[in-house]
Every structure is written in C-alpha cells, then in structure tokens.
Amino acid sequence: MAVIGAGVAGLTAAGLLAGWGVEVSLFEKSPFLGGHAIQLGCKATDSCVKCGACVAEDQLMGVVRNPKVSIHAGTQIEAISGQGPYQISFCSHSPLVHADRCNGCGICFQKCPVPGAILQGQAPRVGPYVAIRQDLCRFFDDGACSLCRETCPQGAIHLSAGTRSGQIHVDAILVATGFAPYIPSHKPYGYGLFQNVITSLDAERLLREKTLMKRPSDGRLAGRIAFIQCVGSRDARQGHPGCSKICCGSSLRMARLIQSRQNDAQIAFFYIDVQNFGKDFQCFYANARTSIEMIRAIPGDIIRTEKDELEVIYFDPETKVSKEAFFDVVILSVGLLPSGDNKRVARMLNLPLNDSGFISPSGDDRRPSPAGIYTAGAATGPMSIAESVSSAERTVFQIIGYLGLR
C-alpha cells in the first residue's frame, strides 16, 4: 500500500493501516513530515481551545518508528502505471543530514552564511530537525564553504548529495497531497514588499518560535495588529470563489492567544462574515468580540507610512465613508487552494478534479475513482485537522475492505 503525502491525513492513514498489518510505503516530497498542520502552534490560552495543532505530532509519533511503515521523505513520485496492482517510480533526495544524529542544537543556522539554505523542521520530537537546500548551499557551488559540517557537534551533516531512484508495486494508493496556501503577492497589501505584512502561516511559524508577536522589520513588540480575512478565498476576481472554512476559527484563536500573551495588544479583525467552527463556537466568539474590534469590511489597500506603520484603507459599511487605521503588523489570513501536485498526481492516476481544482473524494459516486485509488484530507477540499483525520479514518475503512482484510 502506498500513501502519497505525509500531512496529518497521510500520517493518520499510514498509522491506521499499519495497525491492520498492512505494509505501508509513505511518500513525502518535502524533507520533513507533518505537512501544514505540524507548522501550526498550540493556541491554548488558560484552557485548550481545540485548535487541533497537537494532533499532527501525535499522528507523526505513531508512524515514525513503526516497522510496518517505510518512510520516503524528500521523495518525488515520477510515474505511476498499472491498473491495480500499481507500479510507482520515485526519486529520493538526501537531506544532507543524518536524521538520527541531529539534535536540533541550531549551530548550523548560526554558522551558515546563506539565508534560507538550511531549512528547519517543525516537529520538535522527530528528526530530521534540519535539511539543507542543495540549490542554495555554497558547498555545491564551488566546495568553498562547509562550515555547517565542520561545526556540527554531532557530526550529523554529511553534505554527500545523492539521489536514489526506486520502484515499488502496491495493491492500492492513497492520495493525501493536501493543499497549497494562497501566496498574496498579487493583492494590493504589500506582501513581499512590507516586512510587517505577513500571512497567517508566517504568523503561525513566528508564534511557534517566539511567544510574543513582534514586528519582523525591527523586532519591536507589535501593539496594534490587524487580521484581514478571505485573502485568496471568496475572491472571484482571483479565481477562488470558495470559502476556505478554517481561517476564521484559526485567526480568531490566534488573536486571542496574542492578547493572552500581550495584554494591551489592540487587534482589529477585517472580515466578510465569520464562519462557524466547532460546537463551542458561540461562546468563544462572544468572548472574542469583547476584546477584538470586528470590522465588517475587506480593506482595499495598505500603505507603509514614513513612521514605518501600516496604513490600512477600507470602506466602512456603517458610516459609508472611506477610513484608514494604523497597525504595526498586518496578518493576511490566506485561503487553502488546490496544490499543483494535486493536478500532477491526479493526471497520473486518472483521478477526477472538481470545479475548484481539488480531487474528488473517494466514495463520490458521481466521479468514481479507479479501483484501489483513494483520497483523504485537504487534497479533496479545504478542511480542518479534525476533519482531515476523520476523512483519513473513513478512507482507511474503505481500503481495508478493498484489501479484503475485513
């Protein structure tokens, strides 16, 4: 059995299938396991707010040392042929680091002269903690720099580049290739130009590393923060009319987390309408509204002022006049879009895509999948971590039936 994609959906499925005694080959294109969910931070304040962020690491722990699961990280699927059984051809790239020796001490980051050449994994309990980008690393230019290898106290960095091609035969394939976050460079919000305009995924990573929300431009504490919702979703002009479902809940939880750590943070929340999330939503939302300024408008423009503030310009629907407000940091809540890999894998497997470009879920009788090919998680449309886990559970149940194990 092959599982393509080691996000929370793929990990859940791999762990469950292994529990049924199935030998699983788990393919992940990035050097790290866990997909997007592993990059999210826990948003608990004085109690758990059920954001689901801890689930990814739990699922990961269930898979990493499981003898039934062979993990192929840093691996691209090159071709898939057959009609069940299937033959998968793949190519794996070395992360240039011995995962079992790296203890995440961070010395390689301090020594590396090229920003971005060393990537950091997000799962604190599971290696590899780092991987090296061969396309940026100077060692692979002219061999002149190998500071990371020389200074690593664990001898974990080997810099011996290598690709390994392989083929396997499997009875069934689960596609769990997930989604791609919208990159807001085409919106008039200065993303990529103004350092203090960041995406919700950037904010997640920042809050995982540091407890306080600071301005990326100068490291000063951000006292005024704006969230702008529906960036790249519910946006017909960008070709993405659908709602991404999880963003309102995720951003409101993040806003409350920031306020719990920075008591005097002033937060404004620009939105179209707030999507319901979870059964405790009404109570959570009522509380959130007492401390967050909710503005039902989507800003048109962001300008950086001479004082390095961000001026957000929006049309106030209540007073019907154009207004401006000033912030230290603006967080763009980006939509969940179909990933380019979805299309590639769908083409290889002859899988139908829906109108939004996501893969139709397996079990959808209107668009049946080929025999032995299954889908789970956000590859089939925007969904939360809990929904991704239950979609993987449902799909495993179907697969077990297909493999004749129940």
Ligand X SMILES: Cc1cc2nc3c(=O)[nH]c(=O)nc-3n(C[C@H](O)[C@H](O)[C@H](O)COP(=O)(O)OP(=O)(O)OC[C@H]3O[C@@H](n4cnc5c(N)ncnc54)[C@H](O)[C@@H]3O)c2cc1C
Amino acid code (one letter) for 8: V
Applying CB under 6 A, the residues found at the interface with ligand X are 4-10, 27-30, 35-37, 40, 51-52, 77, 176-179, 181, 200-201, 204, 246, 250, 253, 336, 339, 341, 345, 377-379, 383-386, 388
Which tokens hold the place of 276?
């319901």
Amino acid code (one letter) for 114: V
Residue among 240, 239, 222, 233 at smallest CA distance from 330: 222
Sorted by sequence, the CB contacts under 8 Å of residue 64 that are 6+ apart come out as: 33, 71, 126
Element (H, E) at 168: strand 163-170
Collapsing DSSP states into helix, strand and coil, what is residue 118?
strand
Minimum distance from residue 9 beta carbon to ligand X (Å): 4
Q: Are 328 and 224 in contact (CB under 8 A)?
A: yes
What is the C-alpha to C-alpha distance for residues 125 and 103, in angstroms, rounded to an integer?
10
For 39-111, list the strands marked E by DSSP. 69-72, 75-82, 86-93
Which tokens hold the place of 54?
């801890």
Q: Nearer to ligand X by C-beta: 164 or 323?
A: 164
Q: For 254, which DSSP code?
A: H
Per the DSSP assignment, residues forming a β-bridge with 164 are 92
Collapsing DSSP states into helix, strand and coil, what is residue 346?
helix
Minimum distance from residue 200 beta carbon to ligand X (Å): 4
Q: Nearer to ligand X by C-beta: 41 or 372?
A: 41
Q: Nearer to ligand X by C-beta: 17 or 148?
A: 17
Q: Nearer to ligand X by C-beta: 24 or 112?
A: 24
Q: Nearer to ligand X by C-beta: 118 or 248?
A: 248
Give the helix ranges, DSSP H, for 262-299: 281-291
Minimum distance from residue 341 beta carbon to ligand X (Å): 3
Which tokens hold the place of 265?
């943070």
Minimum distance from residue 41 beta carbon to ligand X (Å): 9
| CA 129 to chain CA mean position, Å | 17
Could you tell me whether strands 24-27 and 2-4 are parallel, antiparallel, or unpaired per DSSP bridges?
Answer: parallel
Minimum distance from residue 53 beta carbon to ligand X (Å): 6
Q: Nearer to ligand X by C-beta: 4 or 222?
A: 4
Hey, CA dihedral for 333, 335, 339, 342, is it positive or negative?
positive
Q: Nearer to ligand X by C-beta: 177 or 259?
A: 177
Minimum distance from residue 164 beta carbon to ligand X (Å): 15
Minimum distance from residue 287 beta carbon to ligand X (Å): 17
Q: Are 8 and 389 in contact (CB under 8 A)?
A: yes
Q: Nearer to ligand X by C-beta: 178 or 299?
A: 178
Which tokens hold the place of 47?
């109690």
Minimum distance from residue 89 beta carbon to ligand X (Å): 13
